[in-house]
Structure 1
């Protein structure tokens, strides 16, 4: 990424899911979530607002920050104007520029089990496991890896190097920093099991890379940490094992099972 020429007119973005099915699990989740991200049909909306505010502050975009001062109820009213049919699920992409102009792209998305929105449990294994590859190159951390923006060429390049050509493929690639640490996935936050739940001490069994490794401050990552599902810890790419099970998450698909695939870059893809 050091050789990349970043665009001057980039936007900060956040992708999330609109789903009326969220109301069916809101009450169950409310007792164990602060703040409760399931009180609206917009998945983890308070975390998306926080993510956008943090990015706008990082880039000193005062007009964008002024737009983002609205509370969650006001933001819901704003987003509602873009929903074509409130009985169906939709994928939203919020784009905000330095002038405070906000665009919302809305596309159809498939229905899914509402339990995917909650942090995983031993009995919540209904999703099909994605193939999870490791990038063959190293990515230098920057504000454009910490914050989600339209400057995403390095993510696209990592996906192509792993043979992932479509976002509908059940596949992900993990980005690695120059120190050899896992940063994040190209479109997800990863979680790896590094403790046994019987070890005690109240520590989560799962860990996710710390922001100091250079990855994105994702919304589902924040949710998983708040729920106590995981803790932060550095993860060396060399520590991953072929066939190892992991979890992935993002603001559109919720939590997804994954399985590490170690292979040479020239090997045929499944």
Structure 2
């Protein structure tokens, strides 16, 4: 696998409202209280990917302390009073670029935890990809090699990142890996606690991405890991999704044939 073929990436949210809401939150994993959502996890994610691919120069760049890393990102922010979507892109030589685009304002509390008050009108349709994807380092780590994600979205009729819709990737064993742009969470009964139901997310052994909001959700006890098969999912069941730009999003499973993907 040549480093000339792809770059490692991590997408995150810059939000000037974030420091105020996490100021009293001891559990939030950013001691600097920066406007960058889960910044330590993004740095760690990039460093883990660089280590996996043996990119020594990238690893050296990513070993800088968190304050230096935040200052580096600050140089790309056009207006620090507005929210932005950042896409950190790094190649095997350690060269790092940051693509910055406007992003919609949102309730910053949605970045910290799933909220039962989330509007039903913002519920995303969640489809299941009918094809199977083989797990690899390119599914575990986020890179610019994303053709298989794009293809899965198109198979479910999702043609724009602006659509409130997601598709779940499935490995050859029929296990849910992840979403094309999100980590999914499902409510399942804990066999050790009777009828209680808890939120679970697929384990990395199923082949999905080691996402930042996934790491945060696990660390905060919002969910545990459990293998979920495509056959387990029920049409209309509620789920949660998350990513580093939008935080936590309510979702609803839509099985093939139960709804036109374009509606």
Q: Same fold (TM over 0.5)?
A: yes
Change in Cα spacing, 1:191 to 1:138, as seen in structure 2 (3 Å) is same
Equivalent in 125, 131, 134 of residue 131 of structure 1: 125
Cα deviation, residue 269, structure 1: 2.6
Question: How far, CA to CA, are the matches of 2:2 and 2:201 in structure 1?
Answer: 28
Partner of 1:23: 19
Cα drift, residue 265 of structure 1:
9.7
Deviations 1:212-244 (A, max 9, x none): 000000000000000000000000100100000
Q: Deviations over 1:81-105 (max 9, x none)?
A: 0000000000000000000000000
State the partner residue of 1:106.
100
Aligned length: 261
Determine if the alignment matches structure 1 residue 32 to structure 2 residue 27: yes
Whether the aligned pair in 1 keeps the contact of 2:4 and 2:92 (CA below 8 Å) is no
Shift in Å, 1:38: 7.7
Give how far 1:118 is off.
1.0
Per the TM alignment, residue 36 of structure 1 is displaced from its structure 2 partner at its CA by: 3.5
TM-score by length of 1: 0.91
Q: Where does residue 175 of structure 1 map in the other structure? A: 169
2:232 is the counterpart of 1:239: yes
SS in 1 for 2:189: coil
1:95-244 equivalence runs, <5 A: 95-121=89-115, 123-126=116-119, 128-195=122-189, 199=193, 205-244=198-237
What is the deviation of 1:130?
0.2
Q: Which residue of the other structure, out of 38, 41, 52, is the alignment partner of 1:47?
A: 41
Are residue 13 (structure 1) and residue 13 (structure 2) matched?
Answer: no
Q: For 1:247 and 1:155, how far apart are their aligned partners in 2? A: 19
Q: Distance in 1 between matches of 2:111 and 2:194?
A: 27
C-alpha distance in structure 2 between counterparts of 1:38 and 1:93, whole Å: 21
RMSD over aligned Cα, in angstroms? 2.3
SS state at 1:194 partner: strand
Cα 1:209–1:109 change in 2 (3 A) is same
Question: Any residues of structure 2 matched to 1:79-94 within 5 Å, and which?
Answer: 79-94=73-88
On the 8 A contact 2:30/2:39 being kept in 1, the answer is no
Pair 1:251 & 2:244 matched: yes
Aligned to 1:58: 52
Moved over 4 A (4+): 265-268
After the TM superposition, which of the residue ranges 69-78 and 166-175 deviates more from structure 2? 69-78
Could you say if the C-alpha distance between residues 268 and 200 of structure 1 is closer, same or farther in structure 2, counting changes exceeding 3 Å?
closer
1:90·1:108 contact (CA, 8 Å) conserved in 2? yes
CA-CA distance at 1:17 after TM superposition = 0.4
C-alpha distance 168-72 of structure 1, shift in aligned 2 (>3 A): same
Give the 3 Å change call, closer, same or farther, for CA 222–124 of structure 1 in structure 2.
farther
**Are residues 160 and 7 of structure 1, via their aligned partners in 2, closer, same or farther at CA, if it must alter by over 3 Å?**
farther
Q: Deviations over 1:132-188 (max 9, x none)?
A: 000010000000000000000000000000000000000000000000000000000
